[in-house]
Amino acid sequence: MSWQLTDDVETFAATTGDFLRARPVENTAMLTVLATLQRRGSHAYGEGTPVLGWWSTPSGQVTGVLMQTPPHPMMFSDLPPRAVPAAVEVLDGLPLPGANLPAEAVDGFAAGWRRRTGVRTHVVRRTRLYRLEGLNFPPDPPPGHVRFAEAHDSALLQGWLLAFHDEIGERRPADPQAAIDDRLAYGGVLLWEDGGQPVSMAMCSRPEAGMVRVQIVYTPPVRRGRGYAGAVTVVASQAALDTGARDVVLTTDLANPTSNALYQRLGYRPVEDRVIVEFTA
Q: Residue 6: pLDDT above 90?
A: yes
Q: List pLDDT tens digits, range 149-179.
A: 999 999 999 999 999 999 988 888 888 999 9
| Sign of the alpha-carbon torsion through 230, 233, 238, 241 | negative
Q: List pLDDT tens digits, range 65-119.
A: 999 999 999 999 999 999 999 999 999 999 999 999 999 999 999 999 999 999 9
| Sign of the alpha-carbon torsion through 127, 132, 138, 142 | positive
What is the predicted pLDDT for the residue at 170?
85
Alpha carbon 273 to chain centroid distance? 13
The one-letter amino acid at 262: L
Number of C-beta neighbours around residue 208 at 10 A = 20
Output the pTM of the full model.
Answer: 0.93
